[in-house]
Amino acid sequence: MDLARLFPRRRAPRVALIRLQGAIGITRPGSPGLSDAALAPVIERAFRKGKPAAVALVINSPGGSPVQSSLIAARIRRLADETHVPVHAFVEDVAASGGYWLACAADDIWADETSVVGSIGVISSGFGLDGLIAKHGIERRVHTAGGSKSFLDPFRPEKPEDIARLTRLLEDMHRAFKAHVTARRGTRLSGADLFTGEVWTGAQAVATGLIDGTAHAVPKLKALYGDKVRIVPANGPRRSWLRLLGAGLGAEVAGALLDTAEERALWARYGL
């Protein structure tokens, strides 16, 4: 008599954990940051491998590209709906701007009391260098076919029509961001104006409805799925062998420095 078949052992529930760490944007192979192309196999595997009881997102991101934020979040939601697997988000230091966009892909959001959450807005920043090149006697020569091809050229004075055009672009992106948050958080939102770009601590964000409570990943997942829950980290995007060996040269090194500078600027907005 096969006792194992008569009395099958119940396997402990398994939760796939995806770490979303860093700025969001299109990145070169091996460079830091989050993009839909790099994360696609990780997300697909987390939802489809071994019938998980849930997927957990551990988020530590100051934001970045609205498009990549939308693509990653949409992929998570599509797979969650197809597989009927619940998704829980856990915020570490920060889930701001695009980082909060990703958090809203989950069914519930948890954070540390001191996490930074929110920044539901869109920003465009740059430098005006027209005065600098004029001071050094440098002449800027630009020839275009199409009146808007030199839009916001940093080596030319700003034009009111360019600023107006940029404002329209930012407002469209902001509307999409607000619609995503409203659709995902629904009646949990407090009704206050939460879309000004302001940020809150995790403790403050509970009252606004931006998050569901303060909790850390492992104890919360044990509370939800039992003490024997198996939390299985998903593999992150692979780094290029050149970076692993420290052998990046030329443009690779220059690109890495730019990546680092841009990411540091994003983190610095939140004092990190």
Domain boundaries, the chain: 9-120+186-238+257-269
Range 222-241 average pLDDT = 79
CB-CB contact of 248 with 29 (8 Å): no
Chain segment 1-21, per-residue pLDDT in tens = 454 455 455 688 999 999 999
Instruction: Please identify which of the residues 149, 190, 220, 222 carries the catalytic annotation.
Output: 149
Chain segment 155-185, per-residue pLDDT in tens = 677 778 777 877 888 888 889 999 999 999 9
Range 49-62 average pLDDT = 95
How much is the mean pLDDT over the chain?
Answer: 82
28-42, 57-71, 107-121, 220-234: least confident range: 28-42
Instruction: Please identify which of the residues 61, 69, 70, 97 carries the catalytic annotation.
Output: 97
What pTM, to 2 d.p., does this model score? 0.80
Q: How confident is the model at residue 248 (pLDDT cuts 50, 70, 90)?
A: very low
Gap between the Cα atoms of 216 and 92, Å rounded: 8
Which percentage of the chain shows pLDDT scores above 90? 52
Residue 243 clears pLDDT 50, i.e. is over it: no
What is the CATH code for 9-120+186-238+257-269?
3.90.226.10
Q: What is the pLDDT of residue 267?
A: 63
Catalytic residue at 49?
A: no
One-letter-per-residue 3-state SS of the chain: CCHHHHCCCCCCCEEEEEEEECCECCCCCCCCCECHHHHHHHHHHHHHCCCCCEEEEEEEECCECHHHHHHHHHHHHHHHHHHCCCEEEEEEEEEECHHHHHHCCCCEEEECCCCEEECCCCCCCCCCCHHHHHHCCCCCCCCCCCCCCCCCCCCCCCCHHHHHHHHHHHHHHHHHHHHHHHHHHHHHCCCCCCCCCCEEEHHHHHHHCCCCEECCHHHHHHHHHCCCCEEEECCCCCCCHHHHHCCCCCHHHHHHHHHHHHHHHHHHCCCC
Catalytic residue at 149?
A: yes
Computed from CA positions of residues 249, 255, 259, 261, in that sequence, does the dihedral angle turn out positive or negative?
positive
Range 122-139 average pLDDT = 73
